Structure formats: C-alpha cells, structure tokens
C-alpha cells in the first residue's frame, strides 16, 4: 500500500501570515515563462522548417524509437476502418453517448454577423470558420479518446473545412473517437515535430490555421513557440480541481473527486476549500481508504501530498474568495444551494454544481469540452468551444455622404499623428489634397457616375 501522510492542511481562518503565504503561493502558479523543454522544442521546430519531412522522420526515430517513411505518416482509410471495427461494442456505445452530448452542447454556441448601418455607411463583422485545424492527442498512457471528441467536435460544429488529428501511436479507440468526431485525416506523428509540421507545413503535411489539444512538455513548448505562425488554444498546465464543501457535503464524494483529479499526474492539483473544520478528519480518512485500492495510487498520493491542500476558511464568503483567487480549471460546488454561489464565482474554467455533477461527468459525457484553462488562466481564458474555430472579418463600406461627413475628422487625426498620406487619401476622394491639378470633384468620372460603391 502506498504510504499516504494525508493532504496538507492550510488554515486561513485566522491571520497567520505563514498560512496566507502558503495559500498565495498555491494561487500564484502560472504557465510561467519558458522552461527547459523550450530549447529542445525550438531545435526541432527549426529543423522541421529547414528539412521538412526528413526532420519529422528523424525526430520520431530519435525520441520515439519509431522508424517511418513520409508515406506512412497518414493512416489510410482501410487502417482507420479496421481500427474502428476492433473496438468493443460497449466502448463504442460509450463514445457515441459522449459524442452526441458534446455535439448537442456545442450546437448551442451560435455566432451571427453583427454590424451597423448609418446613412450610406455599412460596417459589419463577418463570422467564418477556420479552414484547417490540427487536433493533438498525446500517446502512451495519456492517449485519451475523450480528448479527441472534446477538441474535434467543436471544430466540426464550427464548420472547419478540414480537421487533422496528430497522435504518435493511434490506438483503435482513438481512431474510433476521431471517426465519430468527424476528423478528416489522421497523422501518426507526435511530439514537438508534429506541432512544427502542422504550423509550418511540409511536403506531406499541410499547414494548419490552429493547433488545439493537450500534450507533454515538449508539445506545450512547441505550441507556445509556433503561436503567431498559427493560432493555439492556450498553454496547458497540470489538471486542477478546487472543491468548495460545507458541513453537509459527503466526505466520500469529496475524497473520490479529489482522487479523480489526483490520479492524472503527480503534478495535478486537488484542493478542498471548506468552512467546516469537522470535514477534515473524515476526508483524510476517506482519501487514505479510497487510495488503498486505486491502481494509480502512487501518482494520486504524490499529487495530494505535493500540490494538494485542505484549506480551512472562515465562512461561505471566504470560500468564494478563495475560489476566485485560485482560478481553478475545475470548480466543484458541494454546498447547500450551490446554484446561488455561481454568479459570484468569476474565475474558473468549468463549474460543477452539486453532488450529481462529478467532475468525471464533465470529462466524458456531459457535453461541454473538457479542454479548459489551467494554471490560473481561467482569469482570462475560456473553455475550448466553437468560438475557438471561428474568426471575424471587418467589412467596411462607405458611400460619399459618410466619407464627406467623416473626412474633416480623418484629416485632423491623420495630421495630428503625422501621417499626411492618410489625410490626402481621404481628401483626394473629393479632389483635394494633392495640389496636382485634379478636378475638384472626382465623384463623377468620365462615365458620369461614381465607379465603385
């Protein structure tokens, strides 16, 4: 049995500066600046830029011990079909339940053109889907078919033309998830080389507009560096849950949900915040007892001991404040009248309201994407959604009246900014500003009519 010393307790009920300092430190985690993986990722990106497919082949051999030809990068239709057929029926059924809910939820995220007409001016914001996006899914123990659903389905709902899955070793169930999600192509490539190839394009791999989905440290570092060449969904850190619980919450559920987070990764952050000191002993006991029979007990125990905390606060208001300070990826409300707390909770990726909404439901079947901002990014970032796969374009159309009305302001501002050619570009439409003998009115030309409108 994994030795489990208990989760650390942080007591914020008093004004103990040392306890407050510990809590502040927990809150101040962030995606941070570049780390060790960045130099390695940069080398791979530059190599892929210089040598394309060859660099991808070489990095795959070096880092994964796989030898493949460019012709083998992509899974053929037969291989995809066969992989799908090998998935057990009950697992297929489970994926279908999840896919249907994810699809239905994201179909409610609708974005319409906005804009405004005023006189002969008409300006609008057009909405169009991105053309081609990459969905990344890690290999190894973190090969999660659920992540393929959670990233590809919002892209498909948005109307993206081509969705490409990059994953180092596509398992059967991942291939089936891709099929259900409407993925167009699957490349059996992973790591920083996959990110580089997707962002830059190679002879075999088409360049994409955006890369989404979680990956290891090298994938994350590569995504950070290609941002600008293409878009990315964000910089992912370890998974987190913060549970708000009051005196009526059930210790077995609290412990189970903390452990479901903790088992992901030794760096996962499972945090309980409560105003009820009496909860602590039963929660610690439940953690120890449930841990005992968990296959990933070692991982979960480390996460609990190293990033976890049972945080005691004075009252309900302090619970809300703690959640807002921490800005967790997942925020679970195991409190009375939980829905009433929601409006005050401003910084969380996803909020799980009440005992019948375990975070695990959000991971798989509820509908909203489980790709969420981590490391405090919930202050400013959103869950993955249809919005990630749309872009706006401003479309401006003025007639002579609007331009005539605005010209004095354009000219005044342009001259104030020292941009004379800007001022003249407006004046010239009315035959002024060049002093070059043009007629005073260009609004009718030799056809007797304005040429363009």
Q: Which stretch binds a copy of itself (CB under 8 A): 18-26, 50-58, 63-71, 139-147?
A: 139-147
Residues in contact with a copy of itself, shown as a per-residue x/- string from 278 to 297 under the rule CB under 8 A: -----------xx--xxxx-
- Rounded Cα–Cα distance for residues 168 and 200 (Å): 18
Task: Write phi, then psi, for 132 (nearest 5 degrees).
Answer: -145, 125
329 is catalytic: yes
Q: At its nearest, how many Å lie between a copy of itself and the CB of residue 320?
A: 14
Q: Residues in contact with a copy of itself, total (CB under 8 A)?
A: 155
- Rounded Cα–Cα distance for residues 150 and 365 (Å): 10
Q: At its nearest, how many Å lie between a copy of itself and the CB of residue 432?
A: 11
37 part of the interface to a copy of itself, by CB under 8 A: no
25 part of the interface to a copy of itself, by CB under 8 A: no
**Restricting to residues 200-239, which ones interact with a copy of itself according to CB under 8 A?**
209-210, 224-231, 234-235
426 part of the interface to a copy of itself, by CB under 8 A: yes
Residues in contact with a copy of itself, shown as a per-residue x/- string from 326 to 365 under the rule CB under 8 A: -------xxxx-xx--x--xx-xxxxxxxxxxxxxxxxxx
3-state secondary structure of 213: coil
Which of 39, 50, 91, 281 touches a copy of itself by CB under 8 A? 91
Burial 294-312 (b: 16+ CB within 10 A, else e): bebbebbbbbbbebbbbbb
**Restricting to residues 298-327, which ones interact with a copy of itself according to CB under 8 A?**
300
How many other CB atoms are there within 10 angstroms of residue 66's CB atom? Answer: 15
383 part of the interface to a copy of itself, by CB under 8 A: yes
73 part of the interface to a copy of itself, by CB under 8 A: no
- Rounded Cα–Cα distance for residues 337 and 344 (Å): 13
Which of 25, 51, 399, 444 touches a copy of itself by CB under 8 A? 399
Task: Write phi, then psi, for 272 (nearest 5 degrees).
Answer: -110, 135
Quick one: 78 or 453, whose CB is closer to a copy of itself? Answer: 453
Task: List the one residue out of 147, 390, 96 whose CA is nearest residue 165.
Answer: 147
- Rounded Cα–Cα distance for residues 430 and 440 (Å): 7
Catalytic residue (choose from 286, 329, 332, 359): 329
**Restricting to residues 171-190, which ones interact with a copy of itself according to CB under 8 A?**
173
Which of 22, 123, 316, 432 touches a copy of itself by CB under 8 A? 123
Quick one: 61 or 91, whose CB is closer to a copy of itself? Answer: 91
DSSP code string of 291-347: HHT-TTHHHHHHHHHHT-EEEE-SSHHHHHHHHHHH--SEEEEESTTGGGGGGG--S
Q: Find residue 129's DSSP bridge partners.
A: 390
Q: Which stretch binds a copy of itself (CB under 8 A): 2-10, 73-81, 85-93, 178-186?
A: 85-93
Q: Which stretch binds a copy of itself (CB under 8 A): 8-16, 63-71, 246-254, 272-280?
A: 246-254
Q: Please name the residue that has the structure tokens 């889907």.
A: 129
18 part of the interface to a copy of itself, by CB under 8 A: no
**Which pair of tokens denotes residue 312?**
């005691």
Pairing of strands 185-187, 162-166: parallel
Burial 213-246 (b: 16+ CB within 10 A, else e): bbbbebbbbbbbbbeebbbbbbbbbbbbbbbbbb
Which of 1, 15, 18, 32 touches a copy of itself by CB under 8 A? 32
Which residues are tagged catalytic?
329-330
């Amino acid at each position: 049995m994994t030795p489990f010393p208990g989760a650390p307790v942080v007591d914020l009920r008093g004004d103990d500066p040392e306890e407050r300092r510990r809590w502040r430190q927990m809150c101040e985690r962030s995606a941070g600046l570049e780390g060790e993986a960045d130099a390695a990722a940069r080398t791979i990106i530059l190599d892929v830029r210089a040598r394309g497919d060859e660099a991808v082949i070489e990095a795959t051999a070096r880092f994964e011990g796989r030898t493949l030809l460019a012709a083998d990068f992509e899974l053929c239709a037969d291989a995809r079909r066969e992989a799908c057929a090998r998935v057990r029926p009950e697992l297929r059924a489970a994926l279908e339940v999840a896919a249907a809910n994810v699809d239905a939820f994201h179909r409610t995220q609708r974005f319409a053109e906005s804009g405004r007409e005023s006189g002969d001016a008409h300006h609008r914001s057009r909405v169009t889907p991105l053309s081609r996006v990459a969905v990344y899914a890690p290999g190894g123990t973190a090969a999660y078919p659920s992540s393929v659903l959670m990233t590809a389905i919002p892209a498909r709902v948005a109307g993206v033309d081509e969705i490409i899955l990059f994953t180092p070793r596509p398992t059967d169930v991942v291939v089936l998830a891709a099929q259900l999600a409407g993925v167009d192509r699957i490349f059996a490539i992973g790591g920083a080389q996959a990110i580089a190839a997707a962002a830059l394009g190679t002879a075999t791999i088409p360049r994409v507009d955006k890369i989404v989905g979680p990956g290891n440290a090298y994938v994350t570092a590569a995504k950070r560096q290609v941002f600008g060449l293409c878009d990315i969904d964000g910089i992912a850190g370890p998974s987190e849950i913060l549970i708000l619980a009051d005196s009526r919450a059930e210790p077995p559920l609290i412990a189970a949900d903390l452990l479901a987070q903790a088992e992901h990764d030794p760096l996962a952050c499972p945090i309980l915040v409560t105003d009820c000191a009496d909860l602590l002993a039963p929660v610690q006991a439940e953690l120890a007892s449930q841990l005992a029979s968990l296959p990933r007990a070692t991982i979960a125990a480390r996460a609990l001991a190293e990033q976890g905390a049972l945080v005691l606060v004075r009252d309900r208001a302090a619970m809300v404040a703690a959640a807002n300070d921490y800005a967790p990826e997942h925020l679970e409300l195991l409190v009375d009248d939980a829905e009433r707390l929601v409006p005050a909770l401003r910084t969380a990726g996803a909020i799980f309201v009440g005992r019948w909404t375990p975070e695990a439901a959000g991971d798989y079947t509820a509908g909203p994407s489980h790709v969420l901002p981590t490391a405090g990014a919930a202050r400013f970032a959103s869950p993955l959604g249809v919005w990630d796969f749309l872009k706006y374009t401003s479309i401006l159309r003025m007639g002579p009246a609007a331009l005539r009305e605005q010209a004095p302001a354009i000219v005044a501002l342009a001259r104030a900014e020292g941009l004379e050619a800007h001022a003249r570009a407006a004046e010239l439409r009315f035959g002024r500003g060049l002093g070059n003998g043009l007629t005073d009115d260009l609004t009718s030309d030799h056809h007797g009519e304005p040429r363009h409108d």
